[in-house]
Amino acid sequence: MDVKKEKIGFIGLGIMGLPMARNLMKDGFELVVYNRTRSKCTELEEKGAIIANNPADVATNAKVIITMVTDSPDVQELLLGEEGIMETIQKDSIVIDMSTISPKITKELNAELNSKGCYMIDAPVSGGSWGAIEGTLSIMIGGAKSAYERCVPLFESMGKNIIYTGESGMGQTTKLVNQILVAGTMNAVAEALVFAAKSGADLEKTIDAVGGGAAASWQLNNLAPRIVKGDFDPGFMIKLQQKDLRLVIETAQAMNVPIPGTSLASQMFASLLSKGLGDEGTQALVKAYETLAGVEART
Ligand code: NAP
């Protein structure tokens, strides 16, 4: 299979999926797209993509199918549900799931696909909506190596740091490692900014000073400037971060690995979900610390 000559199925045109699909089209890939809410297909339809009526319809028209949806049950539904991919999948097809879901469910779905002579590649991403737009995502890949190798041109169209990490589920496991780091760092940034605000520090100067030294991080350098301006639009929504932390906690519990730092971050995010702030970006974690300290970290 030469992936450059294949029609590519793409399911899930959300914050991440739409710009990723756009980049594939920019690089000349012919797309068959499906999104549950059809109105989100308009832009790609105008650019020449074929619009499918359901996931089964995608699998009829494409042997390489990318999924970028929310959580494990959503990927299960796309594959195994009514009018799902499994109803019409052709032998030797490859499903590339780029959503962040459970490593365990990934392995189960891969086994289902293998039973039909097909493959599942898990290829979750990091780099946020900005990385999706710019085509600079980090992509962490698990699954059959031969299937991965055939799909490299697709990954190169959507990302820059493309790492094959091992057998089915390993891409998702690597992504959970990423989420431990991301949530812990966001937690530290929120705590630090509230400390600085209560101390009467100039917040912009503080970010410039510490962001150029050993404390630099993607969260500090990209999200802290947005926090102090009061910009809480998502990038990455709190409700999705909390979904990922649930996956981390479940996986850690199954291995008896203590993860106190991640658990704390998850509790702080929970306080924001209970206030109905799940659709805000993860930088809104600062609001949980602001409530505790009675101060706002804004310029
Ligand atoms: P999003 O904007 O909420 O988009 C979710 C997409 O999934 C929408 O197209 C939605 O369709 C579709 N969907 C959800 N459940 C479905 C179902 N049961 N059947 C069919 N379609 C379904 O989320 P996102 O930010 O793009 O995130 C997508 C995935 O990437 C998540 O797993 C997330 O954790 C991961 N991720 C996100 C970021 C980020 O910065 N945003 C970064 C790295 C990884 P509708 O349009 O009909 O709702």
Average pLDDT rounded to a whole number, residues 87-104:
98
pLDDT tens column, 110-169: 999 999 999 999 999 999 999 999 999 999 999 999 999 999 999 999 999 999 999 999
Task: Give the pLDDT confidence score for residue 271 in this predicted structure.
Answer: 98
Structure tokens at 64: 């390489």
Average pLDDT rounded to a whole number, residues 30-43:
98
Average pLDDT rounded to a whole number, residues 186-195:
98
* Residue reference for tokens 């959507």: 158
Task: Give the pLDDT confidence score for residue 115 in this predicted structure.
Answer: 97
Residue identifier of the C-alpha nearest atom 31 of ligand 1: 70
Residue 100 CA: nearest ligand 1 atom is 32
**Ligand 1 in contact with 16 (CB < 6 A)?**
yes
Does the reported pTM lie above 0.85?
Answer: yes
pLDDT tens column, 204-256: 999 999 999 999 999 999 999 999 999 999 999 999 999 999 999 999 999 99
pLDDT tens column, 159-180: 999 999 999 999 999 999 999 9
Residue 1 has pLDDT above 90, yes or no: no
**In testing the pocket of ligand 1, which one of 130, 240, 269 has its CB within 8 Å of the most ligand atoms?**
240
Average pLDDT rounded to a whole number, residues 177-195:
98
Residue 55 CA: nearest ligand 1 atom is 20
Angle at CA 273, nearest 5°, toward 169 and 249?
30
**Ligand 1 in contact with 116 (CB < 6 A)?**
no
The rounded Å distance from CA 191 to ligand 1 centre is 28
Which pLDDT band holds residue 82 (cuts at 50, 70, 90)? very high
Residue 98 has pLDDT above 90, yes or no: yes
Task: Give the pLDDT confidence score for residue 78 in this predicted structure.
Answer: 98
Residue 44 has pLDDT above 90, yes or no: yes
Establish whether 160 is a catalytic residue. no
For the chain, domains (ranges, CATH) are 3-168 (3.40.50.720), 174-293 (1.10.1040.10)
DSSP output for 178-206:
HHHHHHHHHHHHHHHHHHHHHTT--HHHH
Residue identifier of the C-alpha nearest atom 18 of ligand 1: 74
Among residues 242, 260, 262, 250, the alpha carbon closest in space to that of 104 is found at 250
* Residue reference for tokens 């947005």: 226
